[in-house]
Amino acid sequence: MRRLFAPGTGVSAVNGDKSGVLYLCATPIGNLEDITLRVLRVLREVDLVAAEDTRRTRRLLSHYNIHKPIISYHQHNRRRQGRHLLERLARGDGVALVSDAGTPGISDPGEELVREALEKGISVVPLPGPSALLAALVVSGLPAGRFLFAGFIPGKGKERNRRLCGLAAETGTIILYEAPHRLVRTLHDLAEILGDRRACAARELTKLHEEVRRDTLNRLREHFATEPPRGEFVLLIEGVSKDEKLDGQGEWALLTPREHVDELVREGLTTNEAIKKVSRLRNLSRRELYKQIHGDLKN
């Protein structure tokens, strides 16, 4: 393709710029009808399609009777394939980037290719469309005016705890992607760290078994402990409310560590028990917190 479209306009470019265009094509997250006319047109006209999952993309393209060279571009070959794609773009080819599902660059390797293309002065054009996080947000019933998309939280280790604790002070709706086998554990950890807030589990959106469950974190955990989660999930959690009464769970995000320890002591824990709990919940060094509190107590 020789610059069939100027970025964003869909008309021929006449600026003599020889480099190609990288088109970020949003594709269905389930229902094949969720694809825009513009994405179909670009997929027909580009020189090459770079796909996270070539088999899935081939199925999508043949559903729309589109026949194009497809090369794979995924997490494990992104360095090598990224170089190849940048060379093709530099030669003037039009490349459509397509992820497994949804919008490329959201929790998939597209982000890196975009950065590299921009560094080389290559035009990047977004073709908006489905994204699991937005579909889940608008159907959740939780406030959509302000939200934090936190992607996938690591399955274990300190980083998991750090990322979960980092969500506690967020006032907007929190959106996570989660694998079904980790869902119950994550609901449990979220309830412990954020408190038993209102939440929503949106499953298999736009597919045959679409299900949207709106409840509290603990009740969702109880449900999925008996009905093992299947399919793809987006998890949404209400942000912390500034007006809410401080109950020592979750809303502590509005307290300093010192105030948090005091609050737990008022609720009946000993100072050391409170330090232990606060350091775990807030992912702080117990020794540092101990020194800070006991230092304060001496003064």
Q: How far is the CB of 281 from ligand SAM (least distance, A)?
A: 26
If you search the block for the tokens 């290719």, which residue do you land on? 113
Structure tokens at 227: 């009905």
Structure tokens at 187: 């609901």
Residue placing its CB nearer to ligand SAM in the complex, 31 or 285: 31
Residue placing its CB nearer to ligand SAM in the complex, 161 or 186: 186
Alpha carbons 52 and 223: distance in angstroms, whole number = 33
Q: How far is the CB of 247 from ligand SAM (least distance, A)?
A: 30
Cβ–Cβ contacts within 10 Å for residue 265, how many?
16
Residue placing its CB nearer to ligand SAM in the complex, 36 or 271: 36
CB 237, CB 190: distance < 8 Å: yes
Residue placing its CB nearer to ligand SAM in the complex, 182 or 197: 182
Alpha carbons 214 and 201: distance in angstroms, whole number = 7
Q: How far is the CB of 179 from ligand SAM (least distance, A)?
A: 6
CB 204, CB 211: distance < 8 Å: yes
Position of minimal CB gap to ligand SAM: 102
CB 151, CB 107: distance < 8 Å: yes
Q: Is the dihedral of CA 184, 185, 190, 193 positive or negative?
A: positive
Q: How far is the CB of 108 from ligand SAM (least distance, A)?
A: 5
3-class secondary structure, 122: coil
Q: How far is the CB of 19 from ligand SAM (least distance, A)?
A: 26
Residue placing its CB nearer to ligand SAM in the complex, 26 or 89: 26
Alpha carbons 174 and 209: distance in angstroms, whole number = 24
Q: How far is the CB of 294 from ligand SAM (least distance, A)?
A: 44
Residue placing its CB nearer to ligand SAM in the complex, 233 or 252: 233
Alpha carbons 201 and 187: distance in angstroms, whole number = 10
Residue placing its CB nearer to ligand SAM in the complex, 130 or 250: 130
Where on the chain is the footprint of ligand SAM (CB under 6 A)?
A: 29-30, 99-103, 106-108, 131-133, 177-178, 202-207, 232-234
Q: How far is the CB of 214 from ligand SAM (least distance, A)?
A: 15
Q: How far is the CB of 135 from ligand SAM (least distance, A)?
A: 7
N- to C-terminal Cα distance for the chain?
74
Residue placing its CB nearer to ligand SAM in the complex, 33 or 243: 33
